[in-house]
C-alpha cells in the first residue's frame, strides 16, 4: 500500500483525517455475524439461525451486499428489537468483541495508527450500532467512531421505532462532512477506506480515497479513476480456485464428494423470539 510509506511523515499542510469502513475493510467479514454468534452462545437464537447467518456472512464476503438488503436491514432490526431491554444487548458486548477483534486486519490497523502519527485522527465509519463502534474505536486506540442508531429507547427498552441516523450511503458522507466542519478537518487532505460501491459518497468526499477488498462495481470505478486498490481478503480467491479445480476434476472423470449435514432447529421460544432481528443481523453492517 503506497499510503503506508507516506503516512508516517508528519504533514505540514492542512489537517486531514482518516475514515475507515468496518466490514471487509478494517475486519474480515461481517461484524453483524459476530453479533449473531454471541447471541447464539447466550441462547438467544437457534442453531438453525446461526447456520443461516454463517451462509449469509460467506455470501457477503464473496459478493458484497445490495442497497435493498442493507436499507431493509435497519427496519427489520428496529422492529425485531421491540420490547427488548437495552441491557440484554449490552451484555453481548464481550462475546461480540471476542469474534470481531481476531478478524481485524493488522495491516489496516497499522495504517490507521500511521495516520494518527502523521497528525490525522482516525475514525471508524459504520452502519453498525454506535455503541459497538465506540467500543471498537477505544479498543483499537482510534480517535472515535460514527455509527448508527437502530431503534428508539424508552425507559431502557427498545420501542422498535427507527430513529436517528443510519450510516449507509449518503448518510456516511453527511456525517463525515459534519464532523469535518465541527473539528476543523480539511477533507481534501483526508483519506477514506471502504470495500463497497455503496460507500462511493464517503470515498468521493475526501481527497484520498482507497478501496480495500472491493466489490466488482467499486473495483471497476477505482480502475477508471485510478484509485489505490488493496486486496487483503483471500477467501474469495481461494474458493473460486477450488471451484475451478473441482470442475476440471469432474470433467476429467474424477469423482466429487459432497459432505452435507442437516441442522435441526426450532430452539426455545426465547430463541424464536430473537430470530427475527438477528436474521437481519446476518446481513452486513457496513
Q: Is residue 244 part of a domain?
A: no
The pLDDT assigned to 72 comes to: 60
Q: Is residue 194 part of a domain?
A: yes
Q: Is residue 5 part of a domain?
A: no
- Find out whether 126 and 21 touch, Cβ atoms under 8 Å: yes
Using 50 as the pLDDT threshold, list the residues of the chain that sit under it: 2, 5, 7-9, 11, 50-51, 53-66, 236-285
Q: What domain range includes position 168?
A: 20-233+266-281
Three-state DSSP at 206 gives coil
Q: Is residue 153 part of a domain?
A: yes
Quote the pTM value.
Answer: 0.71
Please count the other Cβ atoms lying within 10 Å of the Cβ belonging to residue 20: 27
Please count the other Cβ atoms lying within 10 Å of the Cβ belonging to residue 119: 14
Tell me which residues are annotated as active site.
21, 23
If one counts the domains in the chain, the total is 1
Q: Is residue 119 part of a domain?
A: yes
The pLDDT assigned to 142 comes to: 98
The pLDDT assigned to 25 comes to: 95
CATH classification of the domain holding 53: 3.40.50.1000
The pLDDT assigned to 86 comes to: 82
The pLDDT assigned to 242 comes to: 40
Q: Is residue 241 part of a domain?
A: no
Q: Is residue 253 part of a domain?
A: no
In this structure, the chain runs to a length of 286
DSSP state of 27: B
The pLDDT assigned to 76 comes to: 65
Amino acid at each position: 500500500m503506497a499510503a503506508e510509506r507516506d503516512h508516517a511523515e508528519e504533514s505540514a499542510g492542512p489537517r486531514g483525517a482518516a475514515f475507515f469502513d468496518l466490514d471487509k475493510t478494517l475486519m474480515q467479514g461481517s461484524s453483524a455475524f459476530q453479533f449473531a454468534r454471541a447471541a447464539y452462545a447466550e441462547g438467544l437464537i437457534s442453531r438453525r439461525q446461526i447456520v443461516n447467518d454463517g451462509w449469509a456472512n460467506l455470501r457477503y464476503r464473496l459478493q458484497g451486499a445490495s442497497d435493498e438488503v442493507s436499507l431493509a436491514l435497519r427496519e427489520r432490526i428496529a422492529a425485531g428489537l421491540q420490547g427488548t431491554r437495552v441491557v440484554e444487548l449490552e451484555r453481548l458486548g464481550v462475546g461480540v468483541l471476542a469474534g470481531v477483534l481476531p478478524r481485524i486486519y493488522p495491516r489496516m490497523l497499522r495504517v490507521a495508527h500511521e495516520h494518527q502519527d502523521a497528525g490525522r485522527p482516525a475514525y471508524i465509519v459504520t452502519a453498525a450500532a454506535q455503541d459497538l463502534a465506540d467500543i471498537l474505536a477505544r479498543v483499537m486506540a482510534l480517535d472515535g467512531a460514527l455509527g448508527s442508531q437502530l431503534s428508539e429507547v424508552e425507559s431502557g427498552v427498545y420501542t422498535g421505532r427507527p430513529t436517528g441516523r443510519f450510516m449507509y450511503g449518503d448518510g456516511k458522507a453527511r456525517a463525515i462532512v459534519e464532523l469535518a466542519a465541527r473539528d476543523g478537518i480539511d477533507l481534501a487532505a483526508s483519506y477514506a477506506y471502504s470495500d463497497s460501491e455503496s460507500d462511493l459518497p464517503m470515498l468521493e468526499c475526501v481527497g484520498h480515497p482507497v478501496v480495500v477488498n472491493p466489490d466488482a462495481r467499486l473495483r471497476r470505478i477505482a480502475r477508471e479513476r485510478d484509485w489505490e486498490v488493496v486486496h487483503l481478503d483471500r477467501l474469495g480467491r481461494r474458493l473460486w480456485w477450488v471451484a475451478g479445480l473441482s470442475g476440471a476434476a469432474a470433467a476429467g472423470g474424477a469423482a466429487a464428494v459432497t459432505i452435507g449435514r442437516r441442522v435441526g432447529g426450532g430452539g426455545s421460544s426465547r430463541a424464536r423470539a430473537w430470530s427475527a432481528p438477528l436474521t437481519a443481523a446476518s446481513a452486513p453492517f457496513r
